[in-house]
Chains A and B, each alone.
Chain A
Amino acid sequence: LAKTTQPISMDSYEGQEVNITCSHNNIATNDYITWYQQFPSQGPRFIIQGYKTKVTNEVASLFIPADRKSSTLSLPRVSLSDTAVYYCLVGDIGRGSTLGRLYFGRGTQLTVWP
Chain B
Amino acid sequence: GAVVSQHPSWVICKSGTSVKIECRSLDFQATTMFWYRQFPKQSLMLMATSNEGSKATYEQGVEKDKFLINHASLTLSTLTVTSAHPEDSSFYICSARERGALSVSSTDTQYFGPGTRLTVL
Contact = CB atoms under 8 A, between A and B. Distances in A.
B18 interface: no
Contact of B106 (A34, A36, A95): A95
Interface residues of B, number: 32
B43 A49 contact: no
Given A100-B97, A104-B45, A41 B91 contact: yes
Contacts of B117: 41
A44 B111 CA distance: 8
A103 interface: yes
B77 interface: no
Contact of B43 (A32, A42, A51, A104): A104
Contacts, number: 72
A11 B108 CA distance: 32
Contact of B34 (A94, A95, A101): A101
Interface in B80-121: 91, 93-95, 97, 99-101, 103-115, 117
Q: Looking at B91, B94, B99, B107, which has the most chain A CB atoms within 10 Å of its CB?
A: B107
A103 B59 CA distance: 11
Interface of A: 32, 34, 36, 41-46, 49, 51, 87, 93-95, 97, 100-107
7 contacts: A43-B115, A93-B110, A95-B104, A100-B32, A101-B46, A102-B110, A105-B43
